[in-house]
Amino acid sequence: MEAQIATFLQSINWASNTFIASLVSAGYTPNYASHSDYGDNAVAYVLTTAGYADRTLTGVVLNRYSASQARFDSDDTTFSASSTMTAKYAVLRHQTTDRLVAYVDLETTATTGIDATQIIVQWNAAGIYNVKHSGT
C-alpha cells in the first residue's frame, strides 16, 4: 500500500487536528494534483454499505525523525460493516476544512478493490507519508 499526498496547500496543524478516513469505491479516480476537497471530489464514492462508518484516525503523530525528514503517522484503522464492503481506496481528510490530504490504494492488482466485512488499513511502518525537507 502506498499513500499519496493530495495537498499541502492549506495551513493544517498535522499533529493536533482531527483526520477522518473514508473507504471509497473504484468509481473514484484519485488525482492528487487536482483533488483537494472531499465534498467536491470523493464524497460521492464513499461506501454506503449497511453498518459502514467513516473512522477518525487515532494516535496521530507528526514527528521529525531525522534532520531532513518528517513523518505523519497514525494507528492502523479498522472499518467494519454488517454486509460485504467493496472498497478500492481509503481517503484521508482534515475534519475542519474537508481537505483531502492522502489516499491509499487498498489493492493495486484488483481494479474493483477488495470485498470484506472488515477492512484493516495497516499504515506503513515508516508512516502514512514522509516529507523530506531542508533546514532544521
For the chain, what are the domain ranges? 3-132
Give whole-number Cα distances, 14 to 61, 62, 106, 122, 127, in Å.
8, 6, 23, 19, 13
For residue range 39-94, list pLDDT tens digits in order.
888 999 999 999 999 999 999 888 777 878 888 889 999 999 999 999 999 999 98
Task: Indicate whether 2 pLDDT > 50.
Answer: no
Task: Indicate whether 16 pLDDT > 70.
Answer: no
Which of 92, 121, 126, 93 has the alpha carbon at shortest distance from 107?
121
Split at pLDDT 50, 70, 90, the class of 12 is: low
Q: Please state whether the predicted TM-score (pTM) of the whole model is above 0.75.
A: yes
